[in-house]
Chain A
């Protein structure tokens, strides 16, 4: 068998087997909106862990983190830290959010805004925002998928067609299986990804340099200071210490603000399940270390890749030095790491649109059956939108991630104040949000980072400051008026 045929056959077999396994797991369930979107709020610690962990190990982790280790050095370490910061915040923030969701039947993050601030327009605006921000993030996963399939096909196949087929297949899977199906599929994905990452971070450096530490010595000998950040003010240095610190904080604060996160939070069986997950999730972050090792190893073994090509470094190393079967297995883990987070994002975006835009705004699809069907159809709509965006515009993995994070992070003041400060009203949150989104877009689009600080972080600070100032400037009034 030709090498590309063998590698691609392994990938196809793994994806189909994962889908079949997940479909078998949910075959007897009756799908209503609560089951389809939040798994009937019944996920225990293990299934919730797998679902939350599944959101960490995306194609960005698989390729982007290694790509940054290859192309930018120590700047990639921010990925290790921001998840940990997010879990510390989540430990305190998520249990009250879960309790509100349970007590008031909330399904999405915009539901929280509508319930807590008593403002449907605010909730609908948040829903529209989340819906459109998700599209570039799904596009990010498709860019990752393309890299994997191109390399696994040894450049002999049309990767655009392969990506489109794989993605449509996954969208149809979400259409059928909902959140619980995605969680079960993540069991297979996480097992494979963990194996692939450990192989990449331990076995590959051992083969070339005797040990991961030997690899570090070699990289530092060839690239002095590669594992430290450039000092502030250094000419042409974009990823300095101020950027690093503020990007960790920005990404950590925004971690749970995406449309896929609220369903995962609400799917927990109880608040303690969530809290326990937040306690132990940082340990899973440590696996990222091996992804960095893979990127550093690639730097020493296949040097010379520039720009977005650095995202391919680890997989190119696999292609050049390992058998097609090994390449196929590692690439199939990567493909699942792209497809499954994309599927939870599709589900999250479809949920906010069907519940908050169709239901709350247009008063359509309000019955259980109609809402489930609307959510399912919207999964396919978002999938086609993301596919179209991906075919038209392609960019580096990390650039897309930063754009998404800057956008969703601006929701954080509204969510945190919803839990922590009863006096804050809808007007204050809306004013901060508009300012934060406009500034965030401006900073990201024009790549402006005054003083080396991440522009999105400025936007977040200004957003929160406006929210506080408007609240202090307005009269106290009772909060928590549920939407009629």
Chain B
């Protein structure tokens, strides 16, 4: 989502908390990536 969705989110509006949409989208996905990796780590260790 961080990379491949870029063609669809390359716009300024709507602003998110004052940030242009493209930047807000990227910040969001960078911020939530650890959650996905944490889940993958848990699943990988499950018996």
Q: Residues on A close to B: CB < 8 A?
A: 74, 77, 80-81, 84-85, 87-88, 91, 213, 216-217, 220, 225, 227-229, 231, 241, 244-245, 248-249, 275-276, 278-280, 282-283, 285-286, 289, 292
Inter-subunit contact B4/A77 (CB<8 Å): no
Known: A220-B12, A227-B22. 6 other contacts (CB 8 A): A227-B20, A228-B20, A279-B37, A279-B41, A282-B31, A283-B30
Inter-subunit contact A280/B12 (CB<8 Å): no
CB neighbours (8 Å) of B23 from chain A are 74, 77, 227, 289, 292
Min CB distance A479 to B, Å, is 24
Inter-subunit contact B20/A286 (CB<8 Å): no
Inter-subunit contact B37/A91 (CB<8 Å): yes
Inter-subunit contact A241/B7 (CB<8 Å): yes
Min CB distance B12 to A, Å, is 6
Inter-subunit contact A229/B22 (CB<8 Å): yes
Residue ID in chain B nearest A219 by CB atoms: B20
Residue ID in chain B nearest A216 by CB atoms: B18
Residue ID in chain A nearest B33 by CB atoms: A282
Inter-subunit contact B7/A88 (CB<8 Å): no
Inter-subunit contact B30/A241 (CB<8 Å): no
Chain A contact residues: helix, strand, loop or mixed? helix
Q: Residues on B close to A: CB < 8 A?
A: 2-4, 6-7, 10-12, 17-20, 22-23, 26-27, 29-31, 33-34, 36-38, 40-41
Residue ID in chain A nearest B11 by CB atoms: A228
Residue ID in chain A nearest B21 by CB atoms: A228
Given A228-B10, A244-B6, A286-B31: A91 in contact with B40 (beta carbons within 8 A) = yes
Min CB distance B46 to A, Å, is 15
CB neighbours (8 Å) of A220 from chain B are 12, 20
CB neighbours (8 Å) of B10 from chain A are 74, 228-229, 231, 241
Min CB distance B25 to A, Å, is 10
CB neighbours (8 Å) of B41 from chain A are 91, 275-276, 279
Inter-subunit contact A80/B30 (CB<8 Å): yes
Given A213-B18, A228-B20: A245 in contact with B33 (beta carbons within 8 A) = no
- 22 inter-chain pairs at a CB distance below 8 angstroms, sorted by A residue, are A74-B23, A77-B22, A81-B26, A81-B30, A84-B33, A87-B37, A91-B41, A228-B22, A231-B10, A241-B6, A245-B6, A248-B2, A248-B3, A249-B3, A279-B41, A282-B34, A282-B37, A283-B30, A286-B27, A286-B30, A286-B31, A289-B27
Q: When the two chains form the complex, which single residue of A91, A245, A275 contacts B7, counting CB atoms closer than 8 Å? A: A245
Residue ID in chain A nearest B9 by CB atoms: A228
CB neighbours (8 Å) of A227 from chain B are 12, 20, 22-23
A231 to B41, CA, bound (A): 38
Min CB distance A417 to B, Å, is 21
CB neighbours (8 Å) of B4 from chain A are 245
A231 to B10, CA, bound (A): 9
Residue ID in chain B nearest A289 by CB atoms: B27
A76 to B34, CA, bound (A): 22
A286 to B2, CA, bound (A): 13
A283 to B38, CA, bound (A): 13
A251 to B13, CA, bound (A): 28
Inter-subunit contact A80/B34 (CB<8 Å): no
CB neighbours (8 Å) of A279 from chain B are 34, 37-38, 41
Q: When the two chains form the complex, which single residue of A74, A213, A245 contacts B3, counting CB atoms closer than 8 Å? A: A245
Residue ID in chain B nearest A285 by CB atoms: B30
CB neighbours (8 Å) of B40 from chain A are 91
A245 to B11, CA, bound (A): 15
Inter-subunit contact B6/A88 (CB<8 Å): no
Residue ID in chain B nearest A80 by CB atoms: B26
CB neighbours (8 Å) of A88 from chain B are 33, 36-37
Min CB distance A283 to B, Å, is 6
Inter-subunit contact B22/A74 (CB<8 Å): yes
Inter-subunit contact A278/B18 (CB<8 Å): no
A85 to B41, CA, bound (A): 16
Inter-subunit contact A278/B7 (CB<8 Å): no
A245 to B3, CA, bound (A): 6
Find the residue from B4, B10, B29, B31 having the highest chain A CB count within 10 A.
Answer: B10
Min CB distance B21 to A, Å, is 8
Given A216-B19, A245-B4: A84 in contact with B30 (beta carbons within 8 A) = yes
**What are the nearest 6 A-B pairs in CB distance?**
A213-B18, A227-B20, A279-B37, A282-B33, A84-B30, A241-B7
Min CB distance A244 to B, Å, is 6
A471 to B33, CA, bound (A): 34
A216 to B15, CA, bound (A): 11
Inter-subunit contact A80/B22 (CB<8 Å): no
Min CB distance A133 to B, Å, is 25
Residue ID in chain B nearest A74 by CB atoms: B22
Min CB distance A248 to B, Å, is 5
